[in-house]
Amino acid sequence: VIEKGLPERSVVTTCAYCGVGCTFKAEMRGEDLIRMVPYKDGKANRGHSCVKGRFAWGYATHRERILNPMLRERITDPWREVSWDEAIGHVAREFRRIQGKYGRVSVGGITSSRCTNEETFLVQKLVRAGFGNNNVDTCARVCHSPTGYGLKTTFGTSAGTQDFDSVEDSDVILVIGANPTDGHPVFGSRMKKRLRQGAQLIVIDPRRIDLVRTPHVQAAHHLPLRPGTNVAVLTALAHVVVTEGLVDEAFVRARCDLDSFQAWADFVAAPQNAPEAVADATGVDPLALRAAARLYATGGNAAIYYGLGVTEHSQGSTTVMAIANLAMATGNIGRKGVGVNPLRGQNNVQGACDMGSFPHEMSGYRHVADDATRAMFEELWGTTLDREPGLRIPNMLDAAVSGSFKGLYIQGEDILQSDPNTAHVAAGLAAMECVVVQDLFLNETANYAHVFLPGSTFLEKDGTFTNAERRIQRVRRVMTPRAGKADWEITLDIAHAMGYAMTYSHPSEIMDEIARVTPTFTGVSYDRLEQLGSIQWPCNEAAPEGTPVMHMQGFVRGQGRFMITEYVPTDERTGPRFPLLLTTGRILSQYNVGAQTRRTENSRWHEEDVLEIHPHDAEQRGVRDGDLVKLQSRAGATTLKATITDRVAPGVVYTTFHHPMTQANVVTTDYSDWATNCPEYKVTAVQVSPSNGP
């Protein structure tokens, strides 16, 4: 403060890292951001923060920010700086040329979970109304798309059921496939507080995450399952609930579809789903599993929290439905302290999904084939909309390789680094005739781009983010957009140049349109957000103040629907060549592929990704702590440093993916969730061997 001077003003805004959605006061002196102060009235954080939101904002003024639009004819040419007019005009001409030559569906767009609701809404509107197809997808494809599918199928809506406050009423907390103290630190602290007060903890995770044993917190049960066996473990938990008479029959009778319940109960009760029968496959001690099931079913208010360790599997959607089944069968849904709670990774992944970023759904999760929904949008947007669902990201890349998909507009997403099977992504991008990357930095995907449009950070724009508890919060402009335009203005300009006029003078007007066409957002406006501080959707006539806890009187779909969750082992199998299973995760100081956090002081806390390996596996391979090792899978190989630890079980290795040189996705395969194509990042058969060096 002494060096930078005292602040002259402050602006309240929302963190742009994880799905907790902490509120900060950005303290400013002129155009300089002096510090970010956690905001005591922030509904999601109550004055708390983690090292990312508090300190990792320096990337906004990092010297590697690209501040001018750039063009090139071929991806081997050098970049040429151009004016905004030239860049936007080029994009519009190229997309129209491609559509003229290859057809209406030969182009598409990708929205970003890092951008605001208003910005993602505009990109999907550009694709649907401007491009005339439904080829829009979002980075949620690679993280929480199974949450959308699984929760919509069972409960009727694609979102977590509780607010964060709810954890304070939990007696039992079941954490599966999540690492809240690293991935969602402010909520993780709240969870730890509740555990210190006496709530009991069950952790289902291949790795001994910090929560299993930290000062004053000790999990009652840690089930260290073999990666890829979530469904078998959850179905075995359900087997215990059903066969030991622990079902909340009154809840099921009153709230659930009884035919689906009976079919499910018969299925889970079958002997092949008993804990003892699946122990070999899962690696989980049957006695511990039985004890955990009894605790979850009978320990009072029981809440489930989960993360990407649930969704990023070939059975990701099945796992989400297995969690929902368990909550319904035990009556742990529809009040404080219980529920099914996906811990969303990115700041606005919930919002990006809500805003119609999927190729089959308009905002509010209404199918594009629904005539009434389309008619409403057509009238408002003054155009005809396609009733055929569009392409998902992996399908866009497949179509590019086969020659029918030629133009892609990517808003704030580095698909080359974050999507699986890097070689296939590169081949798809290389086969396109116009790739437009709108981002802060020249990311890996930009190596295949023909146009680069400089995006803006959250500090440079107005809008809203929606956090993991469906809480819509304001993002307020702290500084002038350094490249001259905020992201929403770029999309607007492209639409104009393509001949489809959208008219907004401020993001608040985009929100007004969202509220008009989205039943769960009817009561949302910037004025109301100013009055209330934040709003949790659904917010409409039935719930004018918003909805902290969902499904209290009945499920959104009417009656809760049980789904059969048969365990199908992944095709990614270990064998003599690849005998170990790799799984991945995040670390507290870093964020995803590190594009932002690596460009801040936080990088000193995590200089490289390392490979955790069990002492037994290390010894077998002659690997010592700190050695460089080669990590090889069927898809590819990379080199990184080994850390020997018993946090992982024998047969399992683990790494983070924050540094581009690690290239963890070089080794991941292109297996994906059967329902949503979410990649199977969490299970890769690998071999580890000493390396001769990088």
The per-residue DSSP string of 639-665 comes to EEEEEE-TTBPTTEEEEE---TTT-HH
Q: How far apart are the first and last CA of the chain?
A: 42
Are 496 and 489 contacting, i.e. CB atoms less than 8 angstroms apart? no
Minimum CB distance to ligand SF4 smaller for 21 or for 228: 21
Q: How many residues bind ligand SF4 (CB under 6 A)?
A: 14
| Binding residue for ligand SF4, selected from 13, 34, 39, 49, defined by CB under 6 A | 49
Q: Provide φ and ψ at 517, rounded to 5°.
A: -105, 0
Which range binds ligand SF4 by CB under 6 A, 10-18, 110-118, 453-461, 520-528? 10-18
Identity of the amino acid at 414 = D
Tokens in use for 129?
Answer: 């109304």
Q: What's the closest the beta carbon of residue 126 comes to ligand SF4, in angstroms?
A: 28
Residue given tokens 């690679």 in the structure block: 142
| Binding residue for ligand SF4, selected from 28, 33, 50, 635, defined by CB under 6 A | 50
The per-residue DSSP string of 55-73 comes to HTTGGGG-TT---S-EE-S
The per-residue DSSP string of 550-574 comes to -SSSSBTTBSB----------S---
Residue given tokens 């999990």 in the structure block: 219
Which range binds ligand SF4 by CB under 6 A, 20-28, 95-103, 249-257, 640-648? 20-28
Are 358 and 387 contacting, i.e. CB atoms less than 8 angstroms apart? no
Minimum CB distance to ligand SF4 smaller for 50 or for 159: 50
For ligand SF4, what does the binding mask look like between residues 658 and 687, x meaning CB under 6 A?
Answer: ------------------------------
Minimum CB distance to ligand SF4 smaller for 45 or for 112: 45
Q: What's the closest the beta carbon of residue 114 comes to ligand SF4, in angstroms?
A: 12
Rounded to an integer, what distance in angstroms lies between the CA atom of residue 370 and that of residue 676? 20
The answer for residues whose C-beta is within 8 angstroms of residue 299's C-beta and 6 or more apart is: 171, 172, 200
Q: What's the closest the beta carbon of residue 399 comes to ligand SF4, in angstroms?
A: 35
Which range binds ligand SF4 by CB under 6 A, 19-27, 220-228, 290-298, 661-669? 19-27
| Binding residue for ligand SF4, selected from 25, 43, 52, 65, defined by CB under 6 A | 52
Rounded to an integer, what distance in angstroms lies between the CA atom of residue 613 and that of residue 648? 7
Q: What's the closest the beta carbon of residue 13 comes to ligand SF4, in angstroms?
A: 11
Rounded to an integer, what distance in angstroms lies between the CA atom of residue 94 and that of residue 546? 43
The answer for residues whose C-beta is within 8 angstroms of residue 497's C-beta and 6 or more apart is: 88, 89, 91, 92
21 interacts with ligand SF4 by CB under 6 A: yes
Rounded to an integer, what distance in angstroms lies between the CA atom of residue 270 and that of residue 54? 51
Minimum CB distance to ligand SF4 smaller for 52 or for 194: 52
Minimum CB distance to ligand SF4 smaller for 61 or for 189: 189
| Binding residue for ligand SF4, selected from 18, 88, 515, 664, defined by CB under 6 A | 18
Residue given tokens 């035919």 in the structure block: 259
Minimum CB distance to ligand SF4 smaller for 122 or for 440: 440
Minimum CB distance to ligand SF4 smaller for 25 or for 485: 25
| Binding residue for ligand SF4, selected from 28, 53, 513, 687, defined by CB under 6 A | 53
Minimum CB distance to ligand SF4 smaller for 262 or for 605: 605
Q: Where are the beta strands (DSSP E) in 210-275?
A: 213-214, 217-218, 221-223
151 interacts with ligand SF4 by CB under 6 A: no
Q: What's the closest the beta carbon of residue 60 comes to ligand SF4, in angstroms?
A: 14
The answer for residues whose C-beta is within 8 angstroms of residue 251's C-beta and 6 or more apart is: 328, 330, 331
Q: What's the closest the beta carbon of residue 184 comes to ligand SF4, in angstroms?
A: 6
What are the respective helix, strand and coil percentages of the chain, to the nearest 5? 35, 20, 45
Q: What's the closest the beta carbon of residue 15 comes to ligand SF4, in angstroms?
A: 3
Q: What's the distance, CA 542 to chain centroid? A: 29
Q: Which residue is nearest to ligand SF4 (CB)?
A: 53
Are 19 and 308 contacting, i.e. CB atoms less than 8 angstroms apart? no
Q: What's the closest the beta carbon of residue 186 comes to ligand SF4, in angstroms?
A: 4
Minimum CB distance to ligand SF4 smaller for 133 or for 596: 596
DSSP state, 597? G
Which range binds ligand SF4 by CB under 6 A, 45-53, 110-118, 409-417, 621-629? 45-53
Rounded to an integer, what distance in angstroms lies between the CA atom of residue 376 and that of residue 517? 8
Tokens in use for 241?
Answer: 């609930």
- 413-452 residues in contact with ligand SF4 (CB under 6 A) are none
Enumerate the β-bridge partners of residue 593: none
| Binding residue for ligand SF4, selected from 17, 131, 448, 654, defined by CB under 6 A | 17
Rounded to an integer, what distance in angstroms lies between the CA atom of residue 304 and that of residue 398? 36
Rounded to an integer, what distance in angstroms lies between the CA atom of residue 20 and that of residue 30? 29
Minimum CB distance to ligand SF4 smaller for 94 or for 469: 469
Cis peptide preceding 576, ω within 30 of 0: no
Rounded to an integer, what distance in angstroms lies between the CA atom of residue 619 and that of residue 262? 50
Which range binds ligand SF4 by CB under 6 A, 16-24, 190-198, 227-235, 511-519? 16-24
Task: Please return the burial class of 653, using the count of CB atoms within 10 Å of its CB with bins 0-12, 13-18 and 19+.
Answer: buried
Are 654 and 611 contacting, i.e. CB atoms less than 8 angstroms apart? yes
Q: Which helix (H) or strand (E) holds 469?
A: none
Minimum CB distance to ligand SF4 smaller for 53 or for 394: 53
Minimum CB distance to ligand SF4 smaller for 53 or for 538: 53
Minimum CB distance to ligand SF4 smaller for 44 or for 410: 44
Which range binds ligand SF4 by CB under 6 A, 13-21, 295-303, 424-432, 456-464? 13-21
Minimum CB distance to ligand SF4 smaller for 53 or for 160: 53
| Binding residue for ligand SF4, selected from 12, 20, 502, 535, defined by CB under 6 A | 20
Q: What's the closest the beta carbon of residue 202 comes to ligand SF4, in angstroms?
A: 23
Q: What's the closest the beta carbon of residue 632 comes to ligand SF4, in angstroms?
A: 33
Helix (H, G, I), strand (E, B) or coil at 528: helix
| Binding residue for ligand SF4, selected from 12, 22, 292, 304, defined by CB under 6 A | 22
167 interacts with ligand SF4 by CB under 6 A: no
- 172-211 residues in contact with ligand SF4 (CB under 6 A) are 184-186
610 interacts with ligand SF4 by CB under 6 A: no
Name the residues that contact ligand SF4, by CB under 6 A. 15, 17-18, 20-22, 45, 49-50, 52-53, 184-186
